[in-house]
A and B are shown apart, each in its own frame.
Chain A
Amino acid sequence: MSDAPAVRCEHLTKWYGDVTAVDSLSFTVRRGECFGLLGPNGAGKTTTIEILEGLLVPDAGDVEVLGLRWKTDDAELRQRLGIQLQETRLAEKATVEETLRMFRSFYRHGRSVPDLLRLFELDGKRRTWVGKLSGGQRQRLAVACALAGAPDLLFLDEPTTGLDPQSRRQLWSVLAEFRAQGGTVLVTTHYMDEAEILCDRVAVVDQGRLIALGTPGELIDALAAPKVVTRRGTLEDVFMALTGRHLRE
């Protein structure tokens, strides 16, 4: 069904031993929006996104992606998703082009490799080994691999962590292009400014629980009372107001 939400999860729960990594999390990601999972390290963002990506099985709760379920529609779903993982290091001795070509081969339909190279401004690095790329170029390549199958839904886990400001902006502009063509994005981040710029709606997560959900503007207006009249609040203030802690402590 094409009008099914991109992601619908209800009471998602995951335990690691005694630790509850994800605690009865429920939210819906609409088609065509960019949805942010926001929270400090260890909040359960990665566990949540990996459950949605079908890499982890939840201990309780219900997940639907693009109206399909992992148990029955694994192969179909994989063709329609683009996935970038937080800590993947691509093979260092393969060139950029070889890497893209391999990922492209897994998908029935998708963008051509030259197209991807151009979109991600990796044209000039086509024959460069991955090991010789800068951090920003590597991250662009990782996202390019995720877009190789022209997915309906793109999962990004901390895509700009450790990148310089220019590389971050470059990645953001590629995501804008993807969304302009109707793509849906689910992104985790602990950067407030990134969430404010990229996301239509944000779920703030702490200790595996959903503590706020709304557009960045709504959350800021409702929760981040400006301390100084001349400065509007930020999502950082929202998090402080909700938990009494800083996001990156």
Chain B
Amino acid sequence: MGSGVIFRGQRPHLSPLVELTLARLREFVREPEALFWTFVFPILMSVMLAVAFPARGDRPVPVGLVPGPEAASVRRMLESAPGISVRDVTETGEQAALREGEVDLIVVPSTPPVYRFDPAREGSRIARLVVDAALKKAEGRADPWSAREEPVEVPGSRYIDWLIPGILGMNIMSTGMWGIGFSIVQMRLRKLLKLLVASPMRKGEYLLAQMLARLVFLAPEAAVPLLFGALVLGMPVLGSYAVIAVVCLTGALSFAALGLLAASRPRTLEAISGILNLVMLPMWVLSGVFFSTANFPDVLQPVIQALPLTALNDALRAVVLEGASLRAVSGELALLAAWGILPFAGALRLFRWT
């Protein structure tokens, strides 16, 4: 008798590991919000950040001009120079204009003029040089020579190019941790874990299934922002896609294991949210998603470099933007693997089923 007769044309059940993995996958696919956060949100985020931080060279230096008897002639001088945009600022409004980044520098028209700016700000220091040169040149200062300029566009040097691998890393972290953490605590809350552990199901298989299910959607999840970056935003992809895949896979496994560990004890959704935020927030700031880790002082560097998201972002950027080989990122991969193995072992020990 063929199995078709026994099961009346229906698929028989599969191995527990496959059934558990399928169960987790269905739960994910049937949750529209999860799909939004995983696939749409990273693109929206990239687009918004690309709009907010356009490439530096395109933007004229905004300079504020306060009213005064010589304002008209100063305005003429500034406007005749390239790369400066002049805005009128009142005496009372100048503080606010500087503070909100509307202008980088205020010019008080007098002889000699007064520059008001914050020397701690990079943009303001540039504005001072540009304005100073423009005014002196207009007053007749002769240049000894003018250099020949050769504009070069280095591929991958734009902020958006640097940003996309960081967004990808951040996404791998949050999908792994939120997806796994939330679904497990919800199952504990519904006493479903208790029912599973009352059955002959093997506990290790359950935990493994959660991690496997996580990997199934990794491919589209990583491909969406990468292809969007490469095809729409023109980000160069210098490394091989195979190496990128290895890096993403290692990162996803390590954050899945961290998600398991985070979810191993809590009994409420509030508790797991708190734990996940506590773990992920520092990494959003420290691990170089939006700005370089080099901004932090040397004392913090050992900590920052030991974080899994730093390793993931560094490896992704090295491969995507610099074409690094697998060997070149092996240090980061080893660190990520350690962040995968230790939390998984911890989760196996600590996991609360009832």
Contacts and interface: CB of A to CB of B under 8 A. Distances in A.
Given A78-B200, A105-B14, A94 B192 contact: no
A94 B200 contact: no
Contact of A98 (B8, B26, B354): B26
Contacts of B13: 101-102, 104-105, 113
Interface stretch (A3-11, A79-87, A160-168, A190-198): A79-87
B194 A106 contact: no
B20 interface: yes
A53 interface: yes
B40 interface: no
A89 B197 contact: no
Interface residues of A, number: 31
Contacts of B295: none
A93 interface: yes
A83 B199 contact: yes
A103 B27 CA distance: 16
B55 interface: no
Contacts of A81: 198
B201 interface: yes
Interface in B2-21: 6-8, 10-16, 18-20
A114 interface: yes
Interface in A50-81: 53-55, 75, 78-79, 81
A102 B19 contact: yes
A89 B16 contact: no
B190 interface: yes
Nearest to B11: A101
B200 A75 contact: yes
| Chain B: interface size category | 20 to 34
Given A102-B19, A105-B16, A79 B200 contact: yes
Given A91-B192, A105-B19, A112-B7, A85 B198 contact: yes
A81 B195 CA distance: 12
A119 to B, nearest CB: 14
A88 B200 contact: no
Contacts of A90: 190, 192, 195
A55 B197 contact: yes
A159 interface: no
Contacts of A107: 199-200
Contact of B27 (A93, A97, A113, A145): A93
B199 A106 contact: yes
Given A102-B20, A113-B13, A93 B26 contact: yes
B200 A93 contact: no
B19 A101 contact: yes
Contacts of A53: 198
B191 interface: yes
12 contacts: A83-B198, A83-B199, A88-B191, A89-B190, A93-B26, A93-B30, A98-B22, A102-B13, A102-B22, A105-B19, A112-B6, A149-B200
Given A55-B354, A98-B22, A106-B199, 7 more contacts: A94-B27, A98-B26, A102-B19, A102-B20, A105-B19, A107-B200, A114-B8
Interface of B: 6-8, 10-16, 18-20, 22-23, 26-27, 30-31, 187, 190-192, 194-195, 197-201, 354
